[in-house]
Amino acid sequence: MLHWKCRADIAACVAQGWKRNQYITGRMLIQKVFNKIISLKFVPDSELEGTVIANQRFQAEDLTLNPKFFVQVLLEGQFGIENAVALWLEYQQLGFMDSGFGNKRSVFEQFQHDHFK
């Protein structure tokens, strides 16, 4: 489960990494592995600890480029999706979403307009 507040933060980190020529890859985690890792009691990506990160990869930069991808795993319903997109737009205005792939503000604004107004 991913909360809307951290979704935009993750996207901003990815964008800033790309802007600095640091490729960031994404991995999908099953909930059990994610819960173990965030508990800070287990070593990530350890077979012995049951935290192997071997699931599907995704293009992390899509969090900064594609609003449908950006919101796809949010579980807070309409409230979370609306707020995540609004925070993405706020971060973009502050310059945090500049990944070097061009300004995607209009794409996210159009998504916001089409889905929330």
DSSP strand E in 25-88: where? 26-27, 57-58
| 96-115 pLDDT tens trace | 999 888 899 999 999 999 88
What's the CA angle centered on 41, arms 36 and 46, to 5 degrees? 65
- CB count in 10 Å sphere of residue 26: 15
pTM: 0.82
Question: Per residue in 27-78, pLDDT tens?
Answer: 888 889 988 998 999 999 999 999 998 878 999 999 999 999 999 878 777 8
Task: pLDDT band for 2, please (50, 70, 90 cuts).
Answer: low
Alpha carbon of residue 60 to chain centroid: 7
